[in-house]
A and B are shown apart, each in its own frame.
Chain A
Amino acid sequence: KNEVEQSPQNLTAQEGEFITINCSYSVGISALHWLQQHPGGGIVSLFMLSSGKKKHGRLIATINIQEKHSSLHITASHPRDSAVYICAVRLIGGTYKYIFGTGTRLKVLA
């Protein structure tokens, strides 16, 4: 079992739909990142969370430390949101190492 699990692995949605991507982890963490990776490979950091909820435009990220779970929501999805979304957790302690989920491949159809 991976220490960081994402679901679903693949997701196809129609433009305008509300999308939720989940991340569960089994290790102690000090922070969690949501990253977006476009087909060309470039990575964009969307959010860094250590508690609660953050919102940026149409994106919302939440984390529940007790349940070891985070969600990334996309409201009013658009084809340009098509990408791989990766959850990365920073391990607790002084190493600042990250463990990455395998990603959720999202395709939004026009």
Chain B
Amino acid sequence: GAVVSQHPSWVICKSGTSVKIECRSLDFQATTMFWYRQFPKQSLMLMATSNEGSKATYEQGVEKDKFLINHASLTLSTLTVTSAHPEDSSFYICSARDGNELRSYEQYFGPGTRLTVT
């Protein structure tokens, strides 16, 4: 089946620094990628939707200047957490939608990235 990878799988950074998380579709072209965040013992919450070559659409309450999303190619989207603070510590997950109609535009989830800000 199709695979979505995320890198890194976990990262620890100091408060005030920026962290970039990559999401890659390994064997299909993803016209749309989604970024989710999960706080402990809570559901995954959609942060933003990114379409290749255009600006991301952010959900209400998500700061677009803090969570920079770039979807520069059909196989790669990046999420950069700028000036990270301890409250940004969370589990970040991406999903990618297959752009091929013959594969029913199926959506696949990445394994997630655990961010800890100290």
Contacts and interface: CB of A to CB of B under 8 A. Distances in A.
B44 A86 contact: yes
Q: Report, as a range, how many residues of chain B touch the other chain.
A: 20 to 34
A33 B28 CA distance: 19
A43 B107 contact: no
B76 interface: no
B78 interface: no
Tell me what chain B mostly uses at the interface: helix, strand, loop, or mixed: strand
Nearest to B44: A100
Interface residues of A, number: 22
A8 to B, nearest CB: 15
Interface centre among A33, A90, A97, A100 (most CB of B within 10 A): A100
B54 interface: no
Interface string A18-44: 000000000000010101010011111
7 contacts: A33-B107, A35-B109, A42-B112, A97-B34, A98-B44, A98-B107, A103-B43
Interface of A: 31, 33, 35, 37, 40-45, 48, 86, 88, 90, 95-98, 100-103
Interface of B: 9, 32, 34, 36, 41-46, 49, 91, 93, 95, 97, 105-112, 114
